[in-house]
Amino acid sequence: MATSFTPDLVTGIISFVLTLMVLSYLIGDNPLFRTAIYLFIGVTAGYVASVAWKLVLLPLLVKPMVEGTWSDRLLLAIPLFLGVLLFAKLSPRASSLGNASMALLVGVTAAAAIGGAVYGTILPQTMATINLFDLSAGGNLVEKMFEGVVLLVGTVSTLAYFHFGSRWKSTSESGNRFLNWIGWLGRVFIAITLGVIFAGVYAAALTAMIERLFSLWTFVSGLF
């Protein structure tokens, strides 16, 4: 009986072939693996471009420029002009024309990164450290104090490691053992954190590999 090529079957075959091409990296770098990576990068770039056009450029730039008022068009002319200047970076001779746009992008990105670090990391970390010493919240007093002390010591020692790291050589020569001890403790907490992150990344990669192998087995067994 001839097998009908349904859309699900075609999708399964493509997924099967691409998975084998990616797994071929186990025997070393080869053209099949590079081809699969190029396909993934191309598809990702195309998807990002389509999302940017549909969700950003079309509703926020093109439609207001065509259907908006003159005041809207004048306001949009500034980002449109700066965006066009970015294309000057494609030419070495005219690349200096895009410096203003690049400077604006770098400044906005840096401001967003700093704001995200302050409001998303520093303040929540500070409040989490303080809240662990809130004895009115209830719970086991000894356990809460232990967690609070560990979190406080880990935060302070890690910050001290980055702040005084460049001064360790000079301080160690003068016999300042306290900073050296704080720095060593900070390195311990950083090593534990990196170990946990590596374990999480390894577990995620292992889970993805198991899922791909299971999908290969399911596809092959479904054919027979």
Element (H, E) at 221: helix 177-223
Distance from CA of residue 134 to its chain's centroid? 33
The reply to whether 60 falls in a domain is no
Look at residue 204 in the predicted model and tell me its pLDDT.
92
Look at residue 175 in the predicted model and tell me its pLDDT.
47
The reply to whether 192 falls in a domain is yes
- The tokens for 107 are 């400044």
Look at residue 1 in the predicted model and tell me its pLDDT.
44
The reply to whether 139 falls in a domain is yes
Question: How confident is the model over 139-187, as pLDDT tens digits?
Answer: 677 777 888 888 888 888 888 887 766 555 554 454 467 777 888 888 8
CA 64, CA 206: separation in Å to the nearest integer?
Answer: 47
CA 107, CA 82: separation in Å to the nearest integer?
Answer: 14
The reply to whether 106 falls in a domain is no
pTM for the predicted model, two decimal places:
0.60
Domain count, the chain: 1
CA atoms within 13 Å, Cβ hemisphere of 153: 13
Q: What is the CA radius of gyration of the chain?
A: 28
The reply to whether 212 falls in a domain is yes
The reply to whether 115 falls in a domain is no
Longest dimension (CA), the chain: 86
Domain that holds residue 188: 132-224
The reply to whether 100 falls in a domain is no
Look at residue 3 in the predicted model and tell me its pLDDT.
53
By the 10 Å C-beta count (0-12 exposed, 13-18 middle, 19+ buried), 204 is classed as: exposed
Look at residue 138 in the predicted model and tell me its pLDDT.
64
Q: 47 phi and psi, to 5 degrees?
A: -65, -45
The reply to whether 108 falls in a domain is no
